[in-house]
A and B are shown apart, each in its own frame.
Chain A
Amino acid sequence: MKKYISDLRLVSTEELSSDYFLMKFTSNEPLPEMLPGQFVEVKVDNSPTTFLRRPISVNYVDKETNELWLLIHAIGDGTRVLSALPVNSIVNMVYPLGNSFTMPEKASERLLLVGGGVGTAPMLYLGAQLYAHGFHPTFLLGARTASGILQLEHFERFGAVFCTTEDGTMGEKGFVTQHSVLASQPAFSRIYSCGPKPMMMAVASYARKNNIPCEVSLENTMACGVGACLCCVEDTQKGNVCVCTEGPVFNINQLKWPI
């Protein structure tokens, strides 16, 4: 896929919950096709401590309004400066980067999309694309507490949504891998996941035990984002491979996780 460097204009920023921001950008040119699981490298100006670009997942692409949505968890200087930008700011991005989630083979497949924290970001676009291709995905979203469950109304447009919170303030209490929907029949035939590593490892371990094909999206720190520096590698069955080009999406069988 051809990659672009573009200046996008910030249309709006909405604080969904404390430190979580939904930022919508638009471009004068029609946005190129982007696949679920792909990411953009955002240049953050006016943050003296932020030297490199920041990789951020495609949260959604609205073709009608020509908008790219990014879901930002403000955890450091780069993401904080980004989320505080005034409307109409121009932000330079390189995109679309990385591989994408594998589309299911059969229309009858039962698909489970598990997201935790800001890792729910690519799950929305994946769900939207699956829905557009005639699938009815099931979403399982996890957070510490109710306010961490984000974009619920958008997920509901594309499939059934179940939640877990560690404190029980929304959905079932506990972790995603303890949710009752996992036991529902017929069993899920494919799982996609993105979130904190311990969560993805628990999901991967569940998938392996139950023989369900599973893909996860990794968040290794990056420098170039285009396969030029070899900084972002993950140790896989094929040796060290770049997460920015051969990932961020990996089948769990490619990884050397102790699951």
Chain B
Amino acid sequence: MTASGTFGYGPEFSDFIDVTRLGAVIVKGTTLNYREGNPYPRMAETPSGMLNAVGLQNKGVNYFAEHIYPSIKGLNDNIIVNVSGSQIEDYVATAEKVAQLDGVTAIELNISCPNVKQGGMAFGVTACGAAEVTKAVRKVYPKTLIVKLSPNVTSISDIAKAVEAEGADSVSLINTILGMAIDAERRKPVLSTITGGLSGPAVKPVALRMVWQVAQAVQIPVIGLGGIMNWKDAVEFLLAGATAIQIGTANFIDPAVTVKIIDGINEYLDRNNFSSVQEIIGALEV
């Protein structure tokens, strides 16, 4: 799958890859109303990664349903909408609207975006808050509900358990890690928002650890992401217990990386005489 916010709506990459080969396309974070996002500069390159502070720029769920969805319907069998909000009612209203779109097979509930003031992260950082949004959206959304977890917490397993108890079908992790970059010469923050979300290889060890912990803690499928750059990284997440993986920042470095990772995983399975990817999920020998 492609990670929300790093793959646009999908057509951006159709010159480079056959988008139908992907397990799913997760589109940009979508909110109830139009959001202008944060002011430029929104990005800072950091050692082996980047910070972003896009701030959920999007045209709102109605615009998505009327103008974007018709043009991407059929791009992939699994179009997943990443839903964000700042209040429970917004999440619910957005999910209700998305539920009407036949071609969208799942929602990924983003309760973990670090880049919006009183944004989803407030829900994502406590087990109580996470459970509350999940419960509310679960009531109105009958299809697959994935909850995307924030790494900016003390115990991610507790939060995963809380959303599982409220009926989440799956959890995905991790979202970006809160970070900061400073321009020493100008003595100013690089980002307009001062802090932003770290992604890329720099976060991989943290993501891998969290996927491992959450996979031990819950029964529902875990989707792993964070710094996956190649098939080897992907296999590590599968071994740690992820049943699926998402590719984010790597798409910026190589727009064809997703299909290369699919091929690489298949070659790994063949080379090691596994007949299916199921055999390596959680197969870490400790």
CB neighbours (8 Å) of A233 from chain B are 37, 40, 42, 57
Asked whether any CB of chain A lies closer than 8 Å to the CB of B251, the reply is yes
Asked whether any CB of chain A lies closer than 8 Å to the CB of B103, the reply is no
Q: Is the CB of B47 within 8 A of A224?
A: no
Q: Is the CB of A221 within 8 A of B41?
A: yes
Q: Is the CB of A235 within 8 A of B40?
A: yes
What number of A-B contacts does a CB cutoff of 8 Å give? 90
CB neighbours (8 Å) of B46 from chain A are 51
* Proximity bits, B32-67, A CB within 8 Å = 1, else 0: 000011011111011111101010010000000000
B158 CB, nearest partner CB in chain A, Å: 31
Q: Is the CB of A228 within 8 A of B37?
A: no
Q: Which one of A1-9, A99-107, A161-169, A203-211 is at the interface?
A: A1-9
A160 CB, nearest partner CB in chain B, Å: 36
Q: Which residue of B lies closest to A4 (CB)?
A: B15
Q: Is the CB of B54 within 8 A of A228?
A: no
- The number of chain B residues touching the other chain, given as a range, is 20 to 34
B140 CB, nearest partner CB in chain A, Å: 28
Q: Which residue of A lies closest to B7 (CB)?
A: A228
Alpha-carbon gap, A2 to B12, bound state (A) = 11
Q: Is the CB of B12 within 8 A of A49?
A: no
Q: Which residue of A lies closest to B9 (CB)?
A: A228
CB neighbours (8 Å) of A5 from chain B are 16, 254-256
Closest 3 CB pairs of A and B: A231-B43, A228-B8, A224-B252
> B interface vs A, CB < 8 Å?
5-8, 12-13, 15-16, 28, 36-37, 39-43, 45-50, 52, 54, 57, 200, 249, 251-256
Given A227-B12, A228-B7, 5 new contacts (CB under 8 A): A5-B16, A43-B253, A223-B249, A228-B251, A230-B5
> A interface vs B, CB < 8 Å?
2-5, 43, 48-53, 94, 220-235, 239-240
23 chain-A/chain-B pairs, Cβ below 8 angstroms: A3-B15, A3-B16, A5-B254, A5-B255, A5-B256, A43-B253, A48-B47, A49-B47, A53-B252, A94-B16, A221-B45, A223-B43, A224-B255, A226-B8, A226-B255, A228-B7, A228-B8, A228-B252, A229-B6, A229-B54, A229-B252, A232-B40, A240-B36
